[in-house]
Amino acid sequence: MENPYYFQQEEIRRRDAENVLMYAPKHHSPNLIPWPRCPEAEQYVQEQIEHFLENHTFARELQKRMREETSTRFTDWVDHVSIPLRPQHLTRLSQTGFTCRYEHSKQGHGIPYWHPHGDFPDILLHSDPQTLEVAMKVDSIKDFLISHNRLDLIDQVEGSRFGKFRRIRIPEGSIILSIVERRGYKGFTPDTDLEAEEKYLHAKATWDSRIRDFEPKRETEGMEYTLQLAQKIAEDVGPDLAADIAMASEREYWTKRNAAARLQKVRQDRLGLGWANHDHHTFRSSRKHYLTLMKIFQTLGFKKRERYSPPDADWGAQIFEQPNAGIVIFADVDLFPEEKEDDFDFSTQKLPTKRKCFTVGRWCALHGDSILQAGMHHLEAQFDFDKLETDLKAQDVHMIDPFSNECDADNRLFLKQTFTEGEMWPVDQERLDTALSRRAIGKKTYNAIMQTRKAVGSVLENLERNMGYKGFKQEGVSDVLDRVDPKKLAEESEETRRKLTKTMSS
């Protein structure tokens, strides 16, 4: 069948050849990608969403409830926007840095555009001159319909259960709100593979039920075992779906171990949203097991982005992105000064064991590596920053001072971040003794932790992004990690206890 979009696509290819060169970030250093701020692209996307909200009553009410009940913004949940194919849209898309996803343009859903250097929803150009559709991502369509008393629509869901792409449309005339589930897939065709459910559930059970708790002397065995499981599920369902399964499981495990996360998850689940607003997942690793962790993520189809090593910090991170699953990972590890040079790739070279630990190494010594029993250090999700801080404070969940509050020359905010106060976790006596014997902690820290048998564990990160900015702040980050360092917090707590005891006895 002749492609009805052929001539438009040829024009798009020509424009994109110029467009990619214009907007491509320059790699000045492997340690830094200078991600651009894209206010024009943000304005264009916002115009389409605002027009949609003006004409869709249910979505407009949902937007209000999102802000009031979950402290999130409707735009941060948008997966893609589908608009009529018109010359003015082609021009605006080209001018603002969007480029065509050719691999998905033959699916019959229109011409898909994405922004390679900004955090924006995809734009679909379709042939219907009247229809405007905005698709919103959730973890579970069924949960969404239950939350909004719309189970009458369940039979209209397109795509097989646990398939790579599922969709339910809620039209109001020619204006349509779509609710979508994605699992390791960037296209727009609902999955109709009836065997997908069995494969998905088997792979999920394999990762969910894996052994995580390994005593310190068996951690190498635990890492190899985890790598083998990653290889198995990637072979069974493909790396893209395997990545989605594994990270959904990691979010669930982390949520169960963090009170602030559980509270916020309940708020989002009341609207049937889940954690679909996740921004990035932060894993901590001991130096000894860092290369194995890199292999695990690469087995799951994650691709390396920038290496992150703040100049004032004693740690670094390899950033990964899974292009089809839409998942970003921060993989933290202790680093020494010579390992932060541009020509030293700490994600590929074995890090020698040192008789000294910094904040990441101390945390792993006390709790285990994130991919094993500890779970993630934090999940960062996208919120209305100030609203979340206010709303959680009312629930007695407090945040530390922001460690990024970045504005452009016109004083427009493009990045703001902070942590909740750290969750205190019990520390196993054997692990505490081992941390002392390996000099991961000193005697002062050991004695302080012994008073409560607890050390700081995980946090929830509050983040707001604007202008499509995908980057992270490099300067001053060591300060915030120092504020959630198990050594510092334990010793400060012990000093406070001593002062209180002295005051009471005097």
Q: Which amino acid is at 172?
A: E
| 61 Cβ contact list (under 8 Å, min separation 6) | none
CATH number of 201-496: 3.10.180.10
pLDDT for residue 498 = 54
Cα–Cα distance for residue pair 376/367, rounded to 1 Å: 11
pLDDT in tens, 182-227: 999 999 999 888 888 999 999 999 999 999 999 999 999 999 999 9
CB 279 within 8 A of CB 463: yes
pLDDT for residue 488 = 81
The pTM of the full predicted model, rounded to 2 decimals, is 0.92
pLDDT for residue 3 = 38
* Alpha-carbon separation of residue 477 from 15, 48, 313, 403, 484 (angstroms): 39, 36, 7, 7, 11
To the nearest whole percent, how much of the chain has pLDDT over 70?
89
pLDDT in tens, 420-452: 999 999 999 999 999 999 999 999 999 999 999
Q: Is 356 helix (H, G, I), strand (E, B) or coil?
A: coil
Q: Is 299 helix (H, G, I), strand (E, B) or coil?
A: helix
Q: What are the residue ranges spanned by the domains of the chain?
A: 6-182, 201-496
- What is the CA angle 403-407-413, rounded to 5? 90
Work out the burial of residue 339: count CB atoms within 10 Å of its CB; fewer than 13 is exposed, 13-18 middle, 19 or more buried: middle
pLDDT for residue 107 = 62
pLDDT for residue 7 = 34
Report the first-to-last Cα separation within the chain, whole angstroms: 91
Residue 284 phi/psi, 5° resolution?
A: -110, 145
pLDDT for residue 30 = 56
Residue numbers of the chain with a pLDDT score lower than 70: 1-32, 104-108, 476-478, 493-506
